[in-house]
Amino acid sequence: MTQFRPTGFNVLPVVIKNLLIINGLFFLAQKSIGGPMSSFSFEDVLALHAFQSELFRPWQLITHMFLHGDLGHIFGNMLALWMFGAILENIWGPKQFLLFYFSCGVGAAMIHLGILSYELMDATKYYHQLIVSGASQTADAAEFMLRYKARVDVATLGASGAVFGILIAFVYLFPNTYIYIYFFIPMKAKWLGILYFSYELFFALRNSAGDNVARWAHVGGALVGFVLVYIWKRNNTRRY
């Protein structure tokens, strides 16, 4: 199957509809209940934190997917979720699509945390050495510890990892379908997928200090999505 032709498909299938509603409700709660004057922080409790952070909780592997930073962030993710996810849910059915969505999201989070732990390995070792040795009272040590805490306590949030998995699955199943960039420029899905993945991988490897986007979560979600859809298609070709 190389091209998608929407005949008789549900434009807003049940899982997509509910994901859009839930993400929207969480976003409204973030901007109202969880505002700067609130005693409850959605980001501290529900966003994803490094394993080394005191704020890390296991449920954040899932809950971070329902939080977003701003209107542009949630709009972009939800638009892509609907554009590509509705087609996949119509093909797979709600149960398989929901499994795919959360597998990509959790997989992306695990890869992101794994890369982050690797990057923090030396700093974490030094941080614990300072605590054990009692040398944390010096000015330089105190400054390092503050910077370390600020790094590990950074919140990661958004459905981008899961959405990247959905995008890659669509690209793999319908590589020759035209997608209109900015609703105007036509491009085959396979070229869009290659360019977008290469872009994210380049900046993930570059690891710029000022880049506040979780690039490895995007790359991780795409990799998990590709592996899953490849296995499913190989083992059950009649469904494609």
Which pLDDT tens digit goes with each residue over 49-81?
999 999 999 999 999 999 999 999 999 999 999
Cα 12–chain centre separation: 22
Whether 126 maps to a domain, the answer reads: no
Q: How many CB atoms lie within 10 A of CB 197?
A: 19
Whether residue 127 is contained in a domain is answered as: no
Q: Give the domain range for residue 172.
A: 14-121+155-239
For 179-224, how does the pLDDT look when each residue is reduced to its tens digit (9 = 90+)? 877 667 788 888 888 898 898 888 888 876 566 788 889 999 999 9
Q: How far is CA 73 from CA 8, 67, 136, 163, 213, in A?
A: 31, 10, 39, 12, 11
Q: How many domains does the chain have?
A: 1
The span from the CA of 54 to the CA of 52, in Å, is 7
91 located within any domain = yes
Query: For the residues 141-158, what does the mean pLDDT come to?
Result: 88
Distances (CA, A) of 11 to 17, 85, 89: 10, 10, 10
Average pLDDT of the segment spanning 98-102: 97
CATH code for the domain of 109: 1.20.1540.10
- Position 7 scores a pLDDT of 47
The pTM (predicted TM-score) of the whole model is 0.87
99 in a structural domain: yes
